[in-house]
Structures are given as structure tokens and as C-alpha cells.
């Protein structure tokens, strides 16, 4: 049995785009989320561990939401779920918020810290590091129809489109596998951030093909 930890934000949690204007976020069913699609595509012999959280950042403490800093929780999660054969990491979208004031290259630097944490851990088999698949998060879509959200994510579409080159450089430097989700999916036009069911399906299948190639 190969154990795979999928560590991400609301697009790993399965946030339904239509719930962006509702009183609380709703979640795609397990079999719709890309992690569920991944589990189905990989089949027996693989166990998918979902670790998605709404608002999770790479290395930043959000002043408006508690415990969103991935850097702070990742070591404990690696410890609790080991031994792991692979960690799939997709974070960075929430780092685009104005409150953090960081550039695309700095967002990738935050992801790099997480990659180094995984590759420097003993969370793999025989107390060795697990393998890692770094995924650049999807681009941000148009937000003009959601002015309150757009005000928190100034110029987010253009800035998100700069992330792939920086994420790819991190993967090349540290020697981990890489997947650019921006070549596969786009967010729902409903909220410009989260994935609809069709996008989850495409992403899950693409990640499964990547993982099959790794193993």
C-alpha cells in the first residue's frame, strides 16, 4: 500500500464556487473532489490522505483567520501520517491576498520552504524523506463581479499567471516532481478561484497520470 498525502488549500478541501456568497462554504462530495478522483484512478494499492484547508497559506499567519500557516503545521502532519510514499503539495493561491504583500517569486519561495521541509523529513519509508510532487496552483480568474473579493486580491489574475515559472524553478532546484495545473484547469467563472466538478475531474486524472509515471 502506497500512502499519499495531498496537502493544500480550499481547492484540495473541495470548496464549491457557488457557496462564495453564502453564509458558509460548501464542499464537493468526496468522489467529486480531485483527491477522490485521484483515489479512483489509482485504484487498489494506493491510500489518499486529504489535507485541504480553506485559506491555507505557504508560510504566512493570516491576521483574520487562525491556524492557516502551512509551515507551522506541516511537520506535525508528516509525523502523524508517516510512513508516506509521496506528498502532493499545492499551495500559494491565498498568498496572493493583499494582506501579505508578497510577489509571485516570494510566494514560490514560501512553497520552497515547504518542499524543503518534506524532503528534509524522516516521514518516508525507513525514516527517509518521502517523494514530493509540487503543483503550481491554478490561475485566478476575473473577480470584477465580486468587488469585495477583488479588493482583497488586487491584480491577482496577472500575478497568479507568473507563478508557474517560479514554481518550476523551485522543483528543478530541489529535484522534486512538478505539475503546472494552469495548463490543465481554470477556476470556475462563478468566483474566479475555486474549481467546479469538471475541473476537479480533469485535475484528478492528470495527477493520477503523473503519479503513475513516478511509481
pLDDT, residue 169, reads: 98
Enter the C-alpha cell of residue 104: 509571485
Contact between 53 and 13 (Cβ < 8 Å): yes
pLDDT, residue 197, reads: 98
Q: CA 87 to CA 116: how far, in whole Å?
A: 12
Residue with cell 509540487: 134
pLDDT, residue 120, reads: 98
pLDDT, residue 26, reads: 98
Residue 6, CB-side half-sphere exposure with 13 Å CA sphere = 25
Q: Which is it for strands 177-180 and 131-136: parallel, antiparallel or unpaired?
A: parallel
pLDDT, residue 109, reads: 98
Sign of the CA dihedral running 68, 57, 96, 103: positive
pLDDT, residue 22, reads: 95
pLDDT, residue 59, reads: 98
Q: Specify the pTM.
A: 0.97
Residues of the chain with pLDDT under 50: none
Q: Specify the 3-state DSSP secondary structure of 137.
A: coil
Structural element, H or E, at residue 196:
none
pLDDT, residue 175, reads: 98
- Compute how many other C-beta atoms are within 10 angstroms of the C-beta atom of residue 57: 27
pLDDT, residue 30, reads: 97
Q: Structural domains in the chain? A: 2-214 (3.40.50.1110)
Amino acid at each position: 500500500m502506497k500512502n499519499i498525502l495531498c496537502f493544500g488549500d480550499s481547492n484540495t478541501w473541495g470548496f464549491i464556487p457557488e457557496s462564495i456568497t453564502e453564509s458558509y462554504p460548501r464542499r464537493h462530495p468526496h468522489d467529486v473532489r480531485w483527491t477522490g478522483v485521484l483515489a479512483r484512478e489509482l485504484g487498489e494499492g494506493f491510500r489518499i490522505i486529504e489535507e485541504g484547508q480553506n485559506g491555507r497559506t505557504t508560510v504566512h499567519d493570516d491576521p483574520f483567520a487562525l491556524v492557516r500557516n502551512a509551515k507551522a503545521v506541516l511537520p506535525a502532519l508528516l509525523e502523524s501520517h508517516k510512513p508516506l510514499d509521496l506528498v502532493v503539495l499545492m499551495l500559494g493561491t491565498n498568498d496572493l491576498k493583499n494582506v501579505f504583500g508578497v510577489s509571485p517569486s516570494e510566494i514560490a519561495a514560501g512553497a520552497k520552504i515547504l518542499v524543503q521541509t518534506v524532503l528534509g523529513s524522516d516521514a518516508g519509508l525507513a525514516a527517509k524523506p518521502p517523494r514530493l510532487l509540487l503543483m503550481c496552483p491554478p490561475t485566478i480568474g476575473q473577480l470584477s463581479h465580486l468587488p469585495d473579493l477583488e479588493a482583497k486580491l488586487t491584480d491577482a489574475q496577472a500575478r497568479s499567471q507568473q507563478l508557474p515559472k517560479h514554481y518550476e524553478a523551485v522543483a528543478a532546484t530541489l529535484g522534486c516532481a512538478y505539475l503546472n495545473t494552469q495548463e490543465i484547469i481554470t477556476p470556475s467563472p462563478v468566483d474566479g478561484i475555486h474549481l467546479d466538478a469538471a475541473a476537479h475531474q480533469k485535475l484528478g486524472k492528470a495527477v493520477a497520470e503523473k503519479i503513475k509515471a513516478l511509481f
